[in-house]
Amino acid sequence: MNKEEKKEQIKKLLINTDRPGIKILIDILEEKGYFENKASLKYHGNYEGGLMDHSFNMFNELKVFMPEENINTLAIIAFLHDVCKVGLYTENGYNKEHPKGHATLSLTMIKDLIKLTDFEEKAIKYHMGLYSTFEFNTNPWQNGEYSLKELTNEWNKEPKLKLVHWSDDKASQFVDITK
């Protein structure tokens, strides 16, 4: 699938969620460069269109790990979990500093426009797993977003949240191409 086909497929899947505000959100993502932006500076998807590719790869992994889950929920989680990265990276580094961790910032951006289910919100918040815990995080521009105890409690209450993390991790570690 070429980039234009992938872009149209993502937009179609998001529109099919039929969430009030989703078309406005898609327009904002398109205007701000979601489909052209990198997913990271040094790691997975560190090329033009990497954010779109990573999100699409995560969607495909979610379908494998969670085939019984509603396709609209999978689309919301996969295509919106990293929306805060839109416009974040330049050739020389970060374009802006984030006052919050990236999942928290993504949730803030999303919830201004569409309503999420409780599971979708938690899936996006905890998609980084251990990597966004206070105990693990050493990234100077991003503080941890939750404690290891909080993450463990949420994973124990809702084991499917682990599958979201594994889908993101598999997409970023084993599927995405780094250039």
**126 pLDDT exceeds 60?**
yes
The rounded distance, in Å, linking the Cα atoms of 167 and 73 is: 14
Q: Which residue has the tokens 């919050």?
A: 100
End-to-end CA distance of the chain: 19
Classify residue 173 by its DSSP letter. Answer: I
Upper half-sphere CA count for residue 154 (Cβ side, 13 Å): 25
pLDDT for the residue numbered 26: 96
Rg (CA), the chain: 15
Residue range 44-74, pLDDT digits in tens: 667 777 889 989 999 999 999 999 999 999 9
Class of domain 3-175: mainly alpha
- Considering the entire predicted model, what is its pTM? 0.87
